[in-house]
Amino acid sequence: MSIHERRVRTLFDEAAIAKRNDELAEEILAARPENLLVVAVLKGSFMFAADLLRALHRVGLAPQVEFVHLSSYRTGTVSSGQVEILRDVQSEVRGRDVLLVDDILESGRTVVFAKDLLMARGAHRVLTAVLLEKPGKRAVTIDADFVGFICPDVFVVGYGMDAAHAFRQLPFVGVVDFDSGDPDLFDP
């Protein structure tokens, strides 16, 4: 059975995600960001970042937007431990408040790497917003400033997150059903 033929069980549905994005925007507004630059970590955060940016607009914030493409997974389902910059931020961050947006905080390596990079470039402060947090998987010390949902220790897909380039388009966060196939399907 190919990955595209597998069932995906819904973990966080569209309505819950939309509601949480609106709540996160209010929380971010309360942090009083100044000269805000939102930096979305590609590829997994693109849907979350887009919806969160619209929610930020609705609460009266007008951030500039940038992207950084970082990877520690490549084709596997477990972090390699090494973060690579595949596409760097182009905007000046010196003296600005930056909101770093990522899909999932698991080992923490990617978020710490990006936060340290932006601080080294002179950001006034770097706040972090993640859609999902897996607290038991941390390899480095970091807590996100804004968390959408606490996630169980399962491999999630959808809402921008993929498994071997499949499922990014799903409008919800789900879990792939491995019961009917090889659980090591994604290992390189």
Instruction: Confirm whether 81 is domain-assigned.
Output: yes
Question: Can you tell me the distance from the alpha carbon of 64 to that of 11, in angstroms, rounded to the nearest whole number?
Answer: 31
pLDDT score of 137: 83
DSSP SS3 for 22: helix
Q: Looking at the domain assignment, is residue 173 inside a domain? A: no
Q: In what order do the strands lie in the sheet with 8-12?
A: 8-12, 173-176, 156-157
> Mapping DSSP to helix (H, G, I), strand (E, B) and coil, where does residue 141 land?
coil
The count of structural domains within the chain is 1
**Which two structure tokens, joined as six digits, stand for 55?**
């929610």
The answer to whether residue 184 is domain-embedded is no
With respect to residue 43, please indicate whether it lies within any of the assigned structural domains.
yes
3-state DSSP of 33-84 = CCCCEEEEEECCCHHHHHHHHHHHHHCCCCCEEEEEEEECCCCCCCCCCCCE
Q: Would you say residue 71 lies in a domain?
A: yes
DSSP 167: S
Tell whether 187 is covered by a domain.
Answer: no
pLDDT at 78 (0 to 100): 55
Rounded CA separation 110/87 (Å) = 14
Question: In this predicted structure, what is the pLDDT of residue 185?
Answer: 41
| Whole-number pLDDT of residue 28 | 98
Q: What is the CATH number of the domain that holds 111?
A: 3.40.50.2020
Q: What is the pLDDT of residue 5?
A: 61
Low-confidence ranges of the chain (pLDDT < 50): 180, 182-188
- The confidence score (pLDDT) of residue 186 equals 39
Give domain status of residue 162, yes or no: no
Question: What is the extent of the structural domain holding 82?
Answer: 13-156
Q: 46 lies in a domain?
A: yes
The pTM for the full model equals 0.88
Question: Phi/psi at 126 (nearest 5 deg)?
Answer: -120, 115
Q: Is 100 left (phi over 0), alpha (psi -120 to 50) or beta?
A: beta
pLDDT value, residue 7: 86
